Chains A and B, each alone.
Chain A
Amino acid sequence: MSRYFTEDHEWIDVDGDVGTVGISDYAQGALGDIVFVDVPEEGRELTKGDEAAVVESVKAASDVYAPVSGTVIEGNAQLSDEPALVNSDPEGEGWFFKITLSDASELEALMDETAYAAFVAKL
């Protein structure tokens, strides 16, 4: 399984043709206390860069973009009861949605963990 990151602070774990998407630890730290997450419904078709989810902190709403194109197969239902999972475990239990990749070559434009760490260090 490989993990990739976007410059907009989404991460995607890829296992075969299924990706799991969330926001990075850096992103949750910048947002602060998360109070609501709107995840995409099963079956939704997303094109890379589409607004896929909304994450709301006490102060602000932020869009979460699809890091790749594909079809949503599951939104994380646990987040509706426990949005704070995004703060406590952003790159694990606080995932947003799972997607089947329609074009795996899109991953080539994303950063790996090392590149993302270097990217964040410069922010």
Chain B
Amino acid sequence: MSDATDLNVEDAPEGQEIIQTLPLDAWHRARGGRMVPFAGYHMPVQYEGIMAEHLWTRESAGLFDVSHMGQVVFTGENGLAPVITALEKVLPGDITGLGDRKNRYSLLLNEEGGILDDLMVTKRTLDGADELYMVVNGATKYDDIAYLLDFIPDDATLNLLDEQALLALQGPKAVDALARIVPGVEDLVFMTAADFVWHDVPLWISRSGYTGEDGYEISIPADHAAAFADLLCEQAEVKPIGLGARDSLRLEAGLPLYGHDLDPETTPVMADLGFALAKKRREAADFLGAGRILAERENGPAVKRVGLTVAGRQPVREGASVVAEDGSVIGRVTSGGFAPSLGAPIAMAYVPTDLAAPGTAVKLLQRGKTHDATVTAMPFVPHRYVRSGAK
């Protein structure tokens, strides 16, 4: 027996061979986490099993360690406005118009309008300083920083918060568990954030995540992370969850994963992330690759990211081909697996735009075997974000 398809969470990006230790490394091992190399770190891929952890998160609350991700803060000697103006060259979102303590999903673009990373941006004022707080992918964080430094003005500062851990508590009971420990978090709504204090430890908490569930992301000083994670796991609603279930949850939620569903060859329009292109920014057309991106938006891209439901029970995974009736390759699967909530295989793929409408039948080729699939609207499992009200 041998692995024909590596766990895609084990794909070590080139240049990321250096294995560093995250603040919760010993904590994961003590709780039985099976550790694998990921994004230059050892990370827990699972504890009791991906299926059980996935379903637990959908029903209750799962605690994910996402400390490998890059937490970056921008400040400017002459205020934040010039920094934001500079960053908007590479981010097509309306960052200038972003409200205080509001999160925004955005994309880091290259000259051709290709995607170098996807990220979250928040404006905040902490200790009297206006800051832009950004969370970027772990595997790309050092490249992102090198790239961003070329764009920000000389009087701006970029700090990588590498002494901060990042925890994600996700699931319908996340609010109950976290509000017991940090009162007030129940008042946040989806894509808003605030600072809190837990036993003199400063926390930065946003109501956001990448599982499709309600939940929170908690930035905490690394030396307090284990105690806080312990306390969370003492709550009846909470169990620690590994990267394996994080991947199956985000796939069911229809959320693309950088390095798999998004890469520098892909534009926001191809990736079906047009919502990340702010109207004001489209009209100004003042970001990198705007010419190409706006033309694609107007005329339709050649290929587009779609969701697929796969007939039968066999998962079709990243790397499989989308083939036409005559057997010619017309697309590629970029994420695929078994959806625990649905009990069926699902996938994301890039297909020619004329095949991107939901209901379109396509064929997938994997290891010499053909699978029938149908283009399906995403998310596969409905999102349950809390957009207003306390709960």
Contacts and interface: CB of A to CB of B under 8 A. Distances in A.
A, B from the same assembly: yes
Interface of A: 8-10, 23, 27, 32-33, 35-36, 38, 54-65, 80, 83
Contacts of A59: 7-9, 45, 50, 244, 247-248, 337
A58 B2 contact: no
B338 A32 contact: no
B1 A35 contact: no
Contact of B1 (A58, A65, A83): A65
Given A56-B315, A58-B248, A36 B5 contact: no
B6 interface: yes
Contact of A36 (B7, B8, B338): B338
Nearest to B243: A59
Contacts of B247: 59
A63 B4 contact: yes
Given A33-B50, A35-B313, A36-B315, A58 B338 contact: yes
B2 A63 contact: yes
Given A33-B51, A59-B248, 20 more contacts: A8-B2, A9-B1, A32-B46, A32-B49, A32-B50, A32-B244, A35-B315, A54-B4, A54-B367, A56-B315, A56-B338, A58-B248, A58-B340, A61-B367, A62-B3, A62-B4, A62-B5, A64-B1, A80-B313, A83-B313
A60 B247 CA distance: 12
Interface in B108-138: none
Q: Nearest 3 CB-CB pairs, A to B?
A: A33-B51, A35-B338, A61-B5
B317 interface: yes
Given A33-B49, A35-B313, A10 B338 contact: no
B21 interface: no
